[in-house]
Homo-oligomer: A and B are copies of this chain.
């Protein structure tokens, strides 16, 4: 589209064209935490919160969100994920729920945003299910742990 002079190069946004890259196996693993009061964590573990089963609900919300990452994050590509795996662990020391999400696809671009979106929406869902009893929760430490596939090389957080 070279015949059009860019109106405003500084303001432009670009969805990267990945059409010339080969499709390869991609994997991304992300994590995050929802910090809460020890009493809240206890209610969650005992499955006694008023809205019901927190972790199954968060798991499903995270999977659904991973599958619609392209609608949430404007410049992400639509990817047919082959797998989305989410796990939760109770971290009594930090008084937090630890969330890990792993996404896989065979595609021309990576799935970091899918894994991070799964963690974020799972965390928000935990927040929602617990907020009637705790207004001081905090979602923290959402980051990429690992990424494989693609020509920029593998990545492992230190």
A binding-site residues for B, Cβ under 8 Å: 1, 4-8, 10-19, 25, 29, 32, 45, 47, 50-53, 55-57, 59-61, 63-65, 67-68, 70-85, 87-90, 98, 100, 102, 104-108, 112-113, 116-117, 120-121, 123-125, 127-129, 131, 135-144, 147, 155, 157
Contact = CB atoms under 8 A, between A and B. Distances in A.
A139 B64 CA distance: 21
Contacts of A12: 52-53, 56, 59
Nearest to A8: B55
21 contacts: A1-B85, A6-B87, A10-B47, A11-B47, A12-B59, A13-B52, A14-B51, A14-B85, A18-B82, A19-B83, A56-B60, A63-B74, A72-B121, A73-B121, A73-B124, A113-B124, A113-B131, A136-B157, A137-B144, A138-B143, A140-B142
Given A7-B89, A17-B85, 19 more contacts: A1-B29, A4-B98, A11-B11, A11-B47, A13-B53, A13-B63, A15-B63, A15-B85, A19-B83, A52-B56, A56-B60, A60-B74, A61-B73, A63-B74, A64-B64, A65-B72, A113-B124, A138-B143, A140-B141
Given A74-B63, A98-B4, A112-B131, A82 B17 contact: yes
Interface centre among A47, A78, A112 (most CB of B within 10 A): A78
A14 B86 CA distance: 8
